[in-house]
Amino acid sequence: MNTSFIGVDIFSGAGGMSLGAEHSGIQIKTAVDIDKYSLETYKYNHKETKVIPEDIREVDPTDTKRFPKKPFVLLGGPPCQGFSYSFIRRNDDLNNPRNWMFKQFLRFVSKLEPSWVVFENVEGFTRFCGGKLVKDLKNELLKIGYTNLYSDILNAADFGVPQVRNRFFIVANKEGYKFDIVPNCIKRVTVKKAFSGLPSLNNGDKIDETSYKPGRLTNYAKLMKAASCSSKQNYVSRNQDYVIERYRYIKPGENWKSIPDRLMTNYKDKSRCHAGIYKRLDPNKPSIVIANYRKNMLIHPDEDRGLSLREAARLQSFPDDFIFKGPLRSMQQQIGNAVPPLLAKAIFDKIITLSCG
């Protein structure tokens, strides 16, 4: 690892974007987040990184005991719940403080003066208040001196992640480099290929560690397996029997619409369910967005149960030796919130190539 490539990750979560950066050769010196369990996960998997468990608004980026001076890259994705499509429909509210956390990102940029900046958020960030926040963010970066600025919505499935997941990125630098990125995945990775080698499970299983299935692994599975000798954290939320009964009526690619009305009487208006509810994944396509896959009742393509923690991690491109910490619900949310490491790696690979060119 080139020690001149030093990074700082704010709003780090469990560390998906940090992992992608590290796999590109960037050393993440400091990470900041406030979520207790996400930071436990981060510490376990990024043992060389200084972790700051504090409210970002109270953190001083000029503290040289905590932050490197002028790092190579500052990366981060401010909380995105306020920019989700469903939230925007209900509350396009500029007075909500969580919709202004991107200002903290700008504060860190102005104080740390990194060579590169990588900002990430959900696609809905671009639509919030008619695009005002994107415009403000870009204008502020330009004022600070980041005149070489790229922004786009990238689909993780175009970069080897077995999931159709759009994320908004801004990549900027002061060094005069013109950043651009094109998809590097000619053939998309399917759910079936992603789950290759993972064990068969039952509703409610909590298997800490077990052998991989015998047989030839797909290239993606080999990449995820890497240094791991066994499948870890095979945890499946336990659903009630009536939920499992509903699953049996749903074929791959189908959703709640396939469930007989007699089994959905607890819904006042079944037609108000969104398309991702009770969705059985199609094994021959990339997954839909997993987000909070437990609440959405995403269904395994072949088995009548929800997804295991390790399966969800595979769909986000977390390697099998990446261990999550905290209660099961928190671990599930950590995975759903993360930036897919393979998508992040593609971005940082291009940054490194430009910087070394």
Instruction: Give the residue numbers annotated as catalytic, written as ranges.
Output: 80
Q: Residues near 334 by Cβ (< 8 Å), separated by ≥ 6?
A: 13, 14, 37, 38, 41, 324, 326
Q: Which two tokens stand for residue 332?
A: 């599930």
SS3 351: helix
b/e string for 90-113 if b means 16 or more Cβ within 10 A? eeeeeeeeebebbebbbbbbeebb
What residues have CB less than 8 Å from 139, skipping those under 6 apart?
none
Residue 85: CB atoms within 10 Å? 11
In whole angstroms, give the CA distance from residue 2 to residue 208: 35
Q: What tokens were used for 165?
A: 């997941």
Given a contact cutoff of 8 angstroms between Cβ atoms, the answer to whether 241 and 263 are in contact is: no
Q: Whose CA is closest to 4, among 40, 33, 37, 29? A: 29
- 47: Cβ contacts below 8 Å, ≥ 6 apart: none
In 3D space, the residue among 262, 260, 294, 256 whose CA is nearest the CA of residue 274 turns out to be: 256
Give just the sign of the alpha carbon dihedral 26, 31, 33, 39: positive
Residue 89 half-sphere exposure toward CB, CA atoms < 13 A: 3
* Helical packing angle, 341-356 and 16-23, nearest 10°: 40
The residues facing 62 across adjacent strands are none
Going by C-beta distance under 8 Å and a sequence separation of 6 or more, which residues neighbour residue 310? 198, 231, 232, 233, 234, 235, 320
